[in-house]
Amino acid sequence: MMKVLSAGLTDVGRKRNHNEDSFLIDEELQLFVVADGMGGHAGGGTASRIAVETIDRELRHARDQADNPFKAETNLQDSPLPEFLRGAVERACLEIFKAAQDDPRLNGMGTTVISLLVRGNHALFAHVGDSRAYLVRGDLIQQISEDHSLVNEQIKAGMITPDEAKHSRYKNIITRSVGFEEEVQVDVMGLLTEDQDAFILCSDGLANLVDDKEIREIISGCSDLKDAPKKLIELANERGGDDNITVIVVKTVA
């Protein structure tokens, strides 16, 4: 069993007057979630809060059932947990949509979700939107999630370059969100962890201003894990801090 260390932080940034991001660190479940809400002061914050609370509640409920999926001793391919994680995000989508139907002030709200569940040597992700998950392993950094965004679709189609995407006026348009509609397609991924792996979950307030190499250098340079989210947020704010910034760093230790 891997030991899991974690630290998280959120910041309003330099340009916004309220924070619509939410994050969850559930050390007991080894569950970590970042949600970047949209829909204005009331709607965005409400959507992201409902998302993290619902995902946590759904997985705790699954753990408390007689056929507890957390007890399953299987390989990564046969683990039941990815589908429970997917179901938790789908439930969050429904809860946010219903809340918006019940209150006209919340109409049109939604949120991104990037979630990580660590179980044994399995790291499981469920993802909607453009909040990201990265893996730092040794000298390498890799983006685990794929952005559900207009500019990413344009990059894949060969219409623009990644550098052009950074400066595109469409960079904040996402093609999938949790809660805007009653249902959503959730991407689920899994990988086997190694000793000293570091996973970074973040909202686009970080990813738009700090590149992969800089993230890796900061993670590798922090002797105390708790310093890493703070240093990443400080760098994003130095670059302008034009959005809310949320970062969770999770490290596996054999």
pLDDT 10s digit of each residue in the chain, 254 long?
Answer: 789 999 999 999 999 999 999 999 999 999 999 999 998 778 999 999 999 999 999 999 999 999 999 998 899 999 999 999 999 999 999 999 999 999 999 999 999 999 999 999 999 999 999 999 999 999 999 999 999 999 999 999 999 998 898 889 888 899 999 999 999 999 999 999 999 999 999 999 999 999 999 999 999 999 999 999 999 999 999 999 999 999 999 999 99
The whole-number pLDDT of residue 63 equals 96
Q: Would you state the pLDDT for residue 103?
A: 94
The predicted structure's pLDDT at residue 126: 98
DSSP conformation letters of the chain: --EEEEEEEEE-TTT-SS--EEEEEETTTTEEEEEEEESHHHHHHHHHHHHHHHHHHHHHHHHTSTT-GGG----GGG-SHHHHHHHHHHHHHHHHHHHHHH-GGGTT-EE-EEEEEEETTEEEEEEESS-EEEEEETTEEEE-S---BHHHHHHHTTSS-HHHHHT-TTTT-BS--BSSSS----EEEEEE--TT-EEEEE-HHHHTTS-HHHHHHHHHH-SSTTHHHHHHHHHHHHTT--S-EEEEEEEEE-
The pLDDT, as a whole number, for residue 40 is 76
Residue 78 confidence (pLDDT): 93
Which is nearest to 124 in space by CA: 194, 57, 189?
189
pLDDT at 222: 96
**b/e map 219-245, b = 16+ CB within 10 Å:** beebeeeeebbbbbbebbbeeebbbbb
**What pLDDT shows up at residue 2?**
81
What is the pLDDT, as a whole number, of residue 249? Answer: 98
pTM value is 0.96
Q: Which domains does the chain have, with CATH numbers?
A: 3-253 (3.60.40.10)
